[in-house]
Amino acid sequence: MKLIYSLLILLIIAFSTAKAHKNNCPKSAYFDIAPSDLTQFKDLSPDDQQFHAKYMRIAINVAVENNSKFGAAIVHKNGTLMCTGANTGGSRMYHGEVKAIMNCTDLYGKATWEDHYLYTTGEPCPMCSAAAMWTKFDKVIFASYVSVMYCERCFNQLPMDANEIFKLGYGINHNTVLIGGVLENITDTFFPSLCGTIGGWSVVPVCQENWTRECPRPSRYFGNTKPTKPTTPTPTPTQTPTPTQTPTQTPTQTPTQTPTETPTQTPTETPTQTPTQTPTQTPSPTPSACSANVTQKIINQWYSNNVYYIQVDATINNKGSKPVRGFNFQLQNVQDIWNADQTSTNNYKLPSWLGEIPVNGAHQFGYIQRSTSLTPITGTPSC
């Protein structure tokens, strides 16, 4: 009996102490940090839309290549791709975002990722949202909303907006900008309706009745639809390095090659060869109608574990008079590639989601290669 009385006394003391601590909790300066808010893709500026769509395509391609619904990419705010990740099974904690963070940590030895953006094909779950905050990403950009996956498609998810987690960033003195719906028209196709099925990834959402597709959003978790304009249009200035590199290559190559060959051959061979070759080669692409070439430039390079790596931005240019619907090319020692599909070892083609490259149009892709220099790419177009 004495033991019971002693336990009751201890419980009373514990509760009274907790209450006292709560009442005496001082106000913290961290609450001055503005909470994260959800910004919708459609409310971004055209430049920001183009920037974020470009790198979301990388995350999408990573998911497709790994036969996964969830792919992620980590990009520096200047546009440099750092690494990627995909949910390919194994531990249930190995979500695409977590795998990308782990891959980047292994590659660069960094614990936090200030000045970096995390792209993911699906709205981050609470676990991945917390991971992104703890690793201090500036922005998290996702494609498909969890409300679509859960309510409309009956795909099992924790029914909570990512913003419910990100707005608590004041607790670790960090604010993350959250952008949603980037290329959701593509990623929503990753999640066909499982409503009416049993097992696997399917679930009966609380917000549905009688297995219908109606989703009235019954709780506050799916209420964050009011967009907020981004305060810092970071992507706009980050694209300025692109024009600075292009003019440096064009003038250096044109004057060096043209004057050296022209003066030596002009007096003897130019009169006979110039008129015969010019009319035969110049019109040849026009009759074929189907023509394309590839231009490339190195945008990053590093050395890790006794291996040299380069990151390359490449562009397939339609030089013909018909839309290019296919382009096959070869490339060796590729560590990662985006916006292009692999058909077999060292063989690649246009991504399946790309319908065609219009006349005078272009398609950009990129890759990471174990190399120290560029490898010329010659491909076979089809129209």
Q: If you average pLDDT over residues 53-57, what whole number do you get?
A: 93
Per the DSSP assignment, residues forming a β-bridge with 311 are 300, 368
Q: Does 231 fall in a domain? A: no
**Domain closes at, from 145, 160, 190:** 190
Final residue belonging to a domain, choices 190, 222, 244: 190
306 located within any domain:
yes
Give the model confidence (pLDDT) of 336-365 as tens digits: 888 899 999 999 999 988 889 999 999 989
Per the structure, the count of domains in the chain is 2
**Residue 177 within any structural domain of the chain:** yes
Least confident residue range of 60-69, 73-82, 108-117, 211-220: 211-220
Looking at 142, 163, 190, the residue that finishes a domain is 190
Rounded distance between C-alpha atoms, residue 322 and residue 360, angstroms? 9
CATH number at residue 314: 2.60.40.290
Choose between 356 and 151: higher pLDDT: 356
User: What is the pLDDT at residue 158?
Assistant: 84
Residue 240 lies in a domain: no
The domain containing residue 355 runs over which residues?
Answer: 292-382
Whether residues 171 and 42 fall in one domain: yes
Domain assignment present for 139: yes
Contacts of 338 (CB under 8 A, 6+ apart): 57, 58, 61, 62, 73, 81, 84, 365, 366, 367
Within-domain flag for 133? yes
What CATH number corresponds to the domain at position 100?
3.40.140.10
The residue with tokens 């959800």 is 38
Q: Which of 41-50, 218-227, 262-271 is the least confident region?
A: 218-227
Has residue 75 got a pLDDT over 90?
Answer: yes
Is the residue at 12 inside a domain? no
